[in-house]
């Protein structure tokens, strides 16, 4: 999963924990709205920082260069394709925008973006918490792979 220019350290800390427990790789695209040593980031990630695989990239293009064969799914409320309509495969990238603005249009129009995808919500609701949204989709993609690598007890 890619967090494009995340702003809230607690959300990124929770994403680190999500990556650690699911085996997902977390890519952060700079600029970040915080320092990676911030206490809120460390507290939200608990003791999972050493168990997560995370990369920080200076730009979106640099992140994509590190993932040359990946399909990229950009998450936005401004599309009709539901996250449940996607048949995820190993190596797919889930792209999420910063809080509170979401992904900028130029990122969603990037030629490497495979599709725009949404998480359904009740009418009149603006958005989910960033890592709650990422968790929903990471677990759906992992479920489709039969929870590969998961503990059985």
- Per-residue pLDDT reduced to its tens digit, 52-86: 889 999 999 999 999 999 999 999 999 999 999 99
The structural domains of the chain, ordered by start, are 2-144 (3.40.1280.10)
**What is the separation of C-alpha 6 from the centre of its chain, rounded to a whole number of angstroms?**
10
- Per-residue pLDDT reduced to its tens digit, 20-48: 999 999 999 999 998 887 676 666 555 67
Does the predicted TM-score (pTM) go above 0.75? Answer: yes
């Amino acid at each position: 999963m890619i967090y494009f220019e995340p702003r809230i350290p607690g959300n990124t800390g929770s994403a680190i924990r999500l990556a650690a427990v699911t085996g997902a790789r977390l890519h952060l695209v700079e600029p970040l709205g915080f320092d990676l040593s911030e206490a809120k980031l460390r507290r939200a990630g608990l003791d999972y920082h050493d168990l997560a695989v995370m990369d920080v990239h200076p730009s979106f293009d640099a992140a994509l260069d590190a993932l040359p064969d990946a399909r990229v799914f950009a998450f936005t409320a401004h599309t009709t394709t539901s996250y449940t309509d996607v048949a995820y495969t190993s190596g797919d990238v889930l792209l999420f925008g910063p809080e509170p603005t979401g992904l900028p249009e130029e990122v969603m129009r990037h030629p490497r973006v495979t599709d725009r995808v949404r998480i359904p919500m009740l009418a009149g609701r603006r958005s989910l918490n960033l890592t709650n949204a990422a968790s929903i989709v990471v677990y759906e993609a992992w479920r489709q792979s039969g929870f590969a690598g998961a503990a059985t007890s």
